Structure 1
Amino acid sequence: MAKAFASQGDLTEKKTTFIEVGPGIYAFTAEGDPNSGVIIGDETVMVVEAQATPRLAQKVIDCIRSVTDKPISHVVLTHYHAVRVLGASAFGALQVIMSEKARSMVAERGQEDWDSEFGRFPRLFQGHESIPGLTWPTTTFNDRMSVYLGKRRIDIMQLGRAHTAGDAVVHVPDANVMFTGDIVEYHSACYCGDGHFHDWPATLKRIRAFDLDAIAPGRGDALIGKPMVNAALDATKDFVRSTYLSAARVALRGGTLKQAWDAVRAECDPKFANFAIYEHCLPFNVARAYDEAQGIDTPRIWTAERDRQMWAALQG
């Protein structure tokens, strides 16, 4: 029997957690669904990642209201993917922050990504009727910027390409806590369909150099303590390298995409098959790795039609 397309068969509601990862800093996690973060300042609150719809964003807001009544002033979006950004309107924030590159990707491929992800993740788009349209930032930056919530400084930085070309991380220096977006995952597959395999390990190395006390990853449990942080960085690097090298060996000798798929499965299944969204991500990851090995630097845009064609060729 053919596998259900992407995550269409995953209709089970996930249990959410809201855990403090540093003083006044929280991670909202949901068993492998996209995470969000909360940073409480002297007078206002910053949210990291907006969820896929205003309905899902309300779950984050409810958690915030369980710990503070301070208004939400900023939403930071680490990249452009629909499941991360389309709930932003629920927060009513004065500033919505993205890297300049991420904003350009909204302009270039934001609608196609929305249409694509809507087909892949039906459970995450419950209440999609309330999405007012594409999410555009009010503030952009190149390289880095700092936001002050009173005395609390928050550094928003581009450390290199990885999950996308516009990735940003959010660092709270007083607690040495970082929100990495999907550059780092924990017991969840990395989605590499818009990724940059060559650059990703170096970006992880730059994150490791912060010697962090905690990370809130893009998916999976909050990582508290240096041993857990380093284990997640190691596993993410292994996932990315194992996927790319297996596919690249096939592509560089003139093999087919299907042969690259078989090679990646042979290498990655024994190590990662129990990770969240592994089967969902694998075809997209192999297709992108195959392209990058052939010198295609800018990931091709995924459309709902391309998604289905690729899935039928590999997972069908």
Structure 2
Amino acid sequence: MAKAFASAGDMTEKTISFDQIGDGLYAFTAEGDPNTGVIIGDDSVMIVEAQATPRLARKVIECVRSVTDKPISHLVLTHYHAVRVLGASAYGADQVIMSDAARGMVVERGQEDWDSEFARFPRLFEGHEEIPGLTYPTTTFSEAMTVYLGNRRVDIMKLGRAHTAGDAVIWVPDDEVMFTGDIVEYHSACYCGDGHLTEWGDTLDNIASFQPRAIAPGRGDALVGDAMVSAAIASTRDFVESTYAPAARVAARGGSLKEAWDAVRAACDPKFSDFAIYEHCLPFNVARAYDEARGIETPRIWTADRDAQMWADLQG
């Protein structure tokens, strides 16, 4: 029997957790659904990742209001994907921040990504009728910028390409805590469909060089303590390498995408088949790894039609 397309069959509500990972720092997580970070400053709050719709964003706001009544002044979006950005309007933030590269991808492929992700994961678009349109930043940066929430310093940086070409991380130096977006995952599959797999490991090295005491990853549990941080970085590295290397070997000998699919499954299934959204991600990951290994530098734009055809070819 063919598998349900992507996560279209996943309609089970996930349990929300709201964990403190530092002084005034929190991770909103939901069993492998997209995470959101919260940074409380002297006078206001910064949110990291918006969720997919205003309705889902209000669940984050409810958690924020359980710990502070300070206004939300800043919203940082680590990359352009619809499930991360389309809930932005709910926060009423004065500044919406993205990297220049991420904004460029909203312009280039934002609508296609929205249409694509809506079909892939309908549960995450609960209340989609409230979305006012594509989310564009009010503020962008090239390599790095610093925001002060009163006296609390927050550094927003590009540390390299990985999940997308525009990935940003957020570093809170007074507590040595990092919000990594989907560059780091914990017991959740990495989505590599728009990624740069051969550079991902170097970007993980750059994250590790900060020696964060805690990380809010893109998906999965909050990572508190050296052991969890190191384990998540190592697992993410293994996932990406185990996806790329078999596909690259097939591409090098002129093999087909379906042969690459079989090779990646053989390498990844024994280690990662119980990870959240594993079956959802795998066809997109194999397609991108195969493209990258064949020298296609810029990830091809996913559309709803391309998604459906690729899924039929590989997971059907």
Superposition TM-score tier, normalisation by shorter sequence = over 0.9
Residue in 2 that maps onto 1:290: 290
Residue in 2 that maps onto 1:195: 195
How far the C-alpha of 1:293 sits from its partner, in A, is: 0.3
Supply the distance in 2 between the matched residues of 1:57 and 1:251 (Cα, whole angstroms).
Answer: 41
How far the C-alpha of 1:168 sits from its partner, in A, is: 0.1
Residue in 2 that maps onto 1:131: 131
Q: Secondary structure at the match of 2:285?
A: helix
Residue in 1 that maps onto 2:312: 312
Residue 225 in structure 1 maps to residue 253 in structure 2? no
How far the C-alpha of 1:15 sits from its partner, in A, is: 0.2
Supply the distance in 2 between the matched residues of 1:151 and 1:226 (Cα, whole angstroms).
Answer: 27
How far the C-alpha of 1:303 sits from its partner, in A, is: 0.1
Residue in 1 that maps onto 2:63: 63
Residue in 2 that maps onto 1:114: 114
How far the C-alpha of 1:121 sits from its partner, in A, is: 0.6
How far the C-alpha of 1:277 sits from its partner, in A, is: 0.1
Q: Secondary structure at the match of 1:198?
A: helix
How far the C-alpha of 1:267 sits from its partner, in A, is: 0.3
Alignment of 1:209-288 (within 5 A): 209-288=209-288
Residue 52 in structure 1 maps to residue 52 in structure 2? yes
Aligned letter for 2:66?
Answer: S
How far the C-alpha of 1:80 sits from its partner, in A, is: 0.1
Encode CA deviations 1:89-140: one digit per residue, 9 max, x unaligned: 0000000000000000000000000000000010000100000000000000
Residue 143 in structure 1 maps to residue 138 in structure 2? no
Supply the distance in 2 between the matched residues of 1:81 and 1:37 (Cα, whole angstroms).
Answer: 16
Aligned letter for 1:60?
Answer: V
Aligned letter for 2:274?
Answer: N
Aligned letter for 1:308?
Answer: A
Residue in 2 that maps onto 1:14: 14
Aligned letter for 1:55?
Answer: R
Supply the distance in 1 between the matched residues of 2:227 and 2:64 (Cα, whole angstroms).
Answer: 28
Supply the distance in 1 between the matched residues of 2:297 and 2:63 (Cα, whole angstroms).
Answer: 40
Supply the distance in 2 between the matched residues of 1:165 and 1:26 (Cα, whole angstroms).
Answer: 26
Runs of 4+ in 1 over 6 A off after TM superposition: none
**C-alpha RMSD of the superposition:** 0.3
Supply the distance in 1 between the matched residues of 2:113 and 2:148 (Cα, whole angstroms).
Answer: 32
Residue 101 in structure 1 maps to residue 98 in structure 2? no
Residue in 1 that maps onto 2:74: 74
Q: Secondary structure at the match of 1:298?
A: coil
Residue in 2 that maps onto 1:204: 204
Q: Secondary structure at the match of 2:197?
A: coil
Supply the distance in 2 between the matched residues of 1:100 and 1:282 (Cα, whole angstroms).
Answer: 29
Supply the distance in 2 between the matched residues of 1:258 and 1:192 (Cα, whole angstroms).
Answer: 17
Residue 33 in structure 1 maps to residue 27 in structure 2? no
Encode CA deviations 1:171-224: one digit per residue, 9 max, x unaligned: 000000000000000000000000001110000000000111000000000000
Q: Structure 2: which 5+ residue stretches go unaligned?
A: none
Supply the distance in 2 between the matched residues of 1:240 and 1:5 (Cα, whole angstroms).
Answer: 22
Q: Secondary structure at the match of 1:247?
A: helix
How far the C-alpha of 1:30 sits from its partner, in A, is: 0.3
Aligned letter for 1:117?
Answer: E
Aligned letter for 2:281?
Answer: C
Aligned letter for 1:268?
Answer: C
How far the C-alpha of 1:301 sits from its partner, in A, is: 0.1
Supply the distance in 2 between the matched residues of 1:86 and 1:270 (Cα, whole angstroms).
Answer: 35
How far the C-alpha of 1:298 sits from its partner, in A, is: 0.1
Q: Secondary structure at the match of 1:46?
A: strand
How far the C-alpha of 1:87 sits from its partner, in A, is: 0.1
Supply the distance in 1 between the matched residues of 2:17 and 2:88 (Cα, whole angstroms).
Answer: 20
How many residue pairs were aligned? 316
Residue in 2 that maps onto 1:158: 158
What TM-score results when the alignment is normalised by the length of structure 2? 1.00
How far the C-alpha of 1:2 sits from its partner, in A, is: 0.4
Supply the distance in 1 between the matched residues of 2:200 and 2:278 (Cα, whole angstroms).
Answer: 18
